Amino acid sequence: MALDKVVDEILESARKDAGQLIATAEKEKASILQQANESITAQRLERKKQLEEVIRRLKQQEVSSAELEAKRVVLNVRKGVLDQVIAGTLKELASMADSEKASLYAKLLTNGTKIIPQPKVFCPKGEAGLLSGVSGVGSVQETEMEAGIILESKDGMFRLDYRFKTMLEDVWEKELKNVSNILFM
């Protein structure tokens, strides 16, 4: 019997120790699960913040791209309008009355002969008659060219380009901001 009592005590002690070990293991298991849950929650919050930041940046990029595209469209339309204005102005200059052209050519020649004395003058075919009576001109030569005149020095080293298109482009470049403001503001 004494042996049965010892065996019972050992079994009871082992059960008690096993119960304590199981309780400790359960506490440790609960602690590990709680830490894992907290870590998962923290990671979810961090990923959510990162995702919200990525979405915010993408929205901003899309808005910026749309604004840039809108500006490009507006600028293209404005350029089209400006090109139409230039084309219309050149058409009006080319089709002006001969008397007006002769007067304009005379003024251009008066200014040009101050820079190039006795120049050779190039003009569009059929317009040499508009230059008659202007003093200080070396010679007049008709050629295939746009409306206006070109003055060239006797030695051919210097040229003054008084074609309407060239003068309009020069003025246009200098006054583009003012013209744009008048047309679009």
As beta bridge partners, residue 117 has none
pLDDT(182) > 80: no
pLDDT tens-digit readout, 47-70? 999 999 999 999 999 988 888 888
The dihedral over CA atoms of 150, 105, 107, 166, expressed in degrees to the nearest 10, equals: -50
Same domain, yes or no: 76 and 125: no
Answer yes or no: are the C-beta atoms of 140 and 128 closer than 8 Å.
yes
As beta bridge partners, residue 143 has 124
Q: Which of the listed residues 78, 95, 112 is the one where a domain comes to its end?
A: 95
Q: Which domain, by its residues, includes 66? A: 1-95
pLDDT score for 46 = 92
Same domain, yes or no: 120 and 158: yes
pLDDT tens-digit readout, 150-162? 999 989 899 999 9
Q: What is the pTM of this model?
A: 0.58
Same domain, yes or no: 21 and 83: yes
